[in-house]
Amino acid sequence: MRKPIYLLLLAGCAPEFTEPMTLGGQTVQPEVLERGREAYMLNCYACHGEKGDGKGPAAPGLRPPPRDFTQGKFKFAAVAGGSLPRDEDLTRAVKKGLHGTAMLAWDVPDGDLAAIVQYLKTFSAVWKEEKPGEVITASPDPWGEAKKAEAQKRGELLYHVTARCAVCHPNYVTKQSLADMTRAATNAEIGEFRPDLYGSVLKESDYGVKILPPDFLGQTLRSVESAEDLYRVIAAGVGGTAMPTWKGALPEADLWAMVHYVKSIVDIKDTPVAQALRDKLRNQPEYVPPPPPPDPAAPPAPGKR
């Protein structure tokens, strides 16, 4: 019977860790790192690679590519985008997986998983220099069910005009509605609409690949299963991408209004309501911009005073 590849790679090797290491501001004992190394090679090696660089034997066929732990960058965590994640964030990613990717939910024993979390920190020197970011927790929802419709209306304005989420993500309103909202909120007219108004815009990232922001009407969100998860992603941002940290940039009521609006789109995915919305946007009347206001400095037309 052939031995698993991880056993062949570890067979006859002296312990890699013989002294404690300080990683992310905490001291990790060598036996924990050794346990993590063995559990990592069993569970994670195929995709993330022996060196943690995302170049495992299965990686070439995976899109998006596996995370490269040597960068010390992570997308989904309850900390400001760009900060190091907490152990709880890494544990959640392994236990729940990332929807729409090859990163499935893994049923790894808690002791092994805790050791893996510590071991993967050894792949990047940043863990020796920095601590995880300050945790971002969801505040109480000030809208609740009673004001959900009002929250969604506020969130629609934030998404399309104020916070300009639709610069990267798709729009979900007609051109006329978008122009009306913009005029009411800013007293300005839209000069022109972006060419693919109802599609996502491909954006650069820190991961060596361009990233297409999700279409909430058609895609399963990577790390979202609840309104609180959605709050975390909006508030914290997505590390290494164009998705900024909104915590502190918007009032809490606005953050939750965004949650309510985006969730209202997510909740109709794969339903006739979603198809009806797409049909409405596809078949909307041609947008006719309003005429420019008269120039008060212009001379009156002949015959008029």
Q: Whole-angstrom Cα distance, residue 104 to residue 94?
A: 8
Cβ–Cβ < 8 Å for 122, 224? no
Could you report the per-residue pLDDT of 189-206, keeping only the tens digit for each? 998 999 999 999 999 999
- Model pLDDT, residue 134: 96
Domain range annotation of the chain: 14-129, 148-282
pTM over 0.75: yes
Region 77-92: mean pLDDT is 96
The pLDDT of residue 88 is above 80: yes
Instruction: Give backbone dihedrals phi and psi of 129, rounded to 5 degrees, phi first.
Output: -110, -25
Cα torsion 137, 139, 140, 144 to 10°: value is: -100
* Nearest of 262, 237, 259 to residue 140 by alpha carbon: 259
- Model pLDDT, residue 225: 92
Token duo for residue 9: 């790679």
What confidence category does residue 292 fall into, taking pLDDT thresholds of 50, 70 and 90? Answer: confident
Q: Whole-angstrom Cα distance, residue 33 to residue 28?
A: 7
**148-282, which class in CATH?**
mainly alpha
Q: Whole-angstrom Cα distance, residue 219 to residue 237?
A: 18
Helix (H, G, I), strand (E, B) or coil at 18: coil
What confidence category does residue 294 fall into, taking pLDDT thresholds of 50, 70 and 90? Answer: confident
Answer whether 14-129 and 148-282 agree in fold. yes
The pLDDT of residue 180 is above 80: yes
- Model pLDDT, residue 251: 97
- Model pLDDT, residue 304: 56
Residues 6+ apart with CB under 8 A from 77: 83, 85, 86, 89, 90, 133, 236, 239
- Mean pLDDT, the chain, whole residue set: 92
- Model pLDDT, residue 302: 66
- Model pLDDT, residue 14: 65
- Model pLDDT, residue 154: 98
Region 183-190: mean pLDDT is 94
The pLDDT of residue 4 is above 60: no
Q: What percent of the chain has pLDDT over 70?
A: 93
Residue with more model confidence, 183 or 296: 183
What confidence category does residue 249 fall into, taking pLDDT thresholds of 50, 70 and 90? Answer: very high
Region 80-86: mean pLDDT is 95
What confidence category does residue 212 fall into, taking pLDDT thresholds of 50, 70 and 90? Answer: very high
Per residue, what are the HEC states of 129-172? HCCECCCCCCCCCCCCCCCHHHHHHHHHHHHHHHCCHHHCCCCC
What confidence category does residue 301 fall into, taking pLDDT thresholds of 50, 70 and 90? Answer: low
The pLDDT of residue 274 is above 70: yes
Fold type of domain 14-129: Cytochrome Bc1 Complex; Chain D, domain 2 (1.10.760)
Task: Enumerate the H helices of the chain as residue ranges.
Answer: 5-10, 30-43, 45-48, 87-96, 110-120, 126-129, 148-157, 175-186, 227-236, 252-266, 272-282
